[in-house]
Structure 1
Amino acid sequence: LDPSKICIKRLPEATKECDLHAYFFKFGLIAEVYVPRKKMGPTSFRCGFVIFLETDSVRKVLEAQPHQLDGNHVVTCVARKKHSNDSERDDDLSQSEDDRPSHNASDIASNQPTIFVGHLKQEVTNFELKAYFCQFGRVSKAKVVHNWATGESRGYGFVTFADSKAFKRSVLEVCHFLHGSRLSVQHSINRI
C-alpha cells in the first residue's frame, strides 16, 4: 500500500481532476491528482487517485467515509504501490526524489519569494489569484499578465509573497486548481 495515496472508485464519467482536487483538498495539501482516461460506456464508472503531501490526510479521508461526489457515493481506499508494469502516467508520478527539481525553502532566495503561475483562465483576476495563494502565506502582490494591446489575459501571472513561509508550506509541491484549470506553479526569478 502507498500510505500517502488514495484510490477513489465508482467515479462518474463526468468527474474531472479539478473535481477531485476541490473535494479532497479539505483533508490536506494535495501533491497530485489523476483520473485515468479510458473509453467507457455511458453508465460506466471509473477510478481516480489523489496523492497527499502528508499521510495523516489519508487517515482523515478514510475516517470521514462515506464520501459523495456530484450526488454519487464513491468508495475510497489506500492505493497500492505502483509496479514496473503500470501505465506511463504512473511512472511520471513515481519519479524518485533525485529526479524532481528541488523546491526546498532553503533553496529559494529569501529576497525573491515570487512564483510564476501558468495556465490561468482568461477570467482570473489579480484579486482571485491573490486570494487563492494567500492560503500558503502573506501575499504582497499578485499580477495576472495582460496583452498591452488587447487587454486580454496572457494566461499566466506572478505572485510575490511577503516572506518565504509559503515555500515552507509547500506552495511549489502541491497541485493547484483555479476556475477548474490545473495551474503550473514554479519559482520565479522575476519580480513583479
Structure 2
Amino acid sequence: MEDLKKRKMEDMGNNGQLSTQEELRSLLDPLAKPQLVDLLSRLGSQYPSIAEEIKSIASSDPVHRKLFVRGLAWNTTSETLCAAFRMHGEIEEGAVIYDKATGKSRGYGFITYKHMESTHSALRAPSKLIDGRMAVCNLACEGLSGSSTTPDLAQRKLYIGGLSPDVTSEMLLSYFGRHGEIEEGSVAYDKDTNESRGFGFVTYKTVEAAKKAIDDPQKILGGRTIIVKLADTNKGKPVQTQVPTAAVIPLAMAVAPGYPQLGKAHPNAASARYAYPQPVASYQASSFSSPAAVPAPYPTQPPIPYASVAAKKDPQGILPTAPMGMSGYPYYIGKQ
C-alpha cells in the first residue's frame, strides 16, 4: 500500500513538473528577444548554476568566439598574433593567413578563444599595435561589416603622403594620436622589400578628430612636410562607354584601281602616271540590317571620254588588261 501511494505521489510530481514547463514555454514564446535576454541575465546574476549553463550554451558554437584580425604587418607571425591577444583569455586557435603561391602573409589572420567572455573582452579594445602596425579585430562572422565600413568612414579615413622612409607606423600613430583616438592606421610597406612606400593611412574613431588632423597647420613629420587629406574610399576605375556594334554603319568606298587605299600605300604608287577621276562614294546595301534602312544611292559622276591610247608596256612591267572593273576602269594584273 505504501509503495502504491509513493508511486502516485511521484506521478503527480512528474505531471506537475511537465505541466509547469509547458506553461512556462507558452508564456515565454510570445516574448521579444530583448525581454528574454533581460530575464535570463537577471536570473543568471542571481543563480550561478544558470549563469554557467548560459555560458556553456553560448560558447558551444565557435562562430561566437572567432575574431577576424586585419591590418597585420607582413612580418607578423602566428606566434606574435596570439601573444597580442592572449591578454584577453585562453586562445583555442590562432593563425596568420599566408598566400599559397608566394608564401607571404596576406595581412590578416584569425583568433578563436576558448570562452565567449574572452571574445567580448577583445572586442572592447579592437585596435592593437602589433609589430609596428595598428591591427583591428571584429567578429569573423561579420566579415568586413564592422566599424570599418560604417557610412562615415569616408570622413574618418585619412591619406598621409610625402612620408620620409625613416617614418615608422609607431611614429605615424604617435604623431596623429594627438588629434583623437585612432581606430586603424599604418605606413604602407612594400611586400617584397618591406620598405616604406612613402605614404600611409590613419582612420580615426570620430569625424571631428579627422577634421582636426586636416585643419592642423603644422604638418611636418620626419623632417618633411606631409600631405594630409581624406582618403578616397570609393576609388575605382572609370567606366568606359562602348558604342554598340549595331550602331556603327560601315561605308564601302569604291576606289579606282591605281590609287592608294585608305590606311595603306599602293605598291606602285611611285610609278602611277594615270590621273583618273575619283568616283563619289556609294553606300552598299549589305551594310544595313534591313532593306528599309538602306538610304537612296548617291549619284556618281558621269564617265569622261578619253582618247584611245595604244597599249604599251609600263616601266614596271604592268599592262592594263580586261576585264573592266566595276568602276569603269580596267583591273591591273601582275607582271607579264
TM-score over 0.5 for the pair? no
Structure number with bigger Rg:
2
More strand by share: 1
Category of TM-score, reference length = shorter chain: 0.3 to 0.5
Provide the TM-score with structure 1 as the length reference: 0.40
* More relative contact order, 1 or 2 (CA 8 Å, 6+ apart): 1
Provide the TM-score with structure 2 as the length reference: 0.23
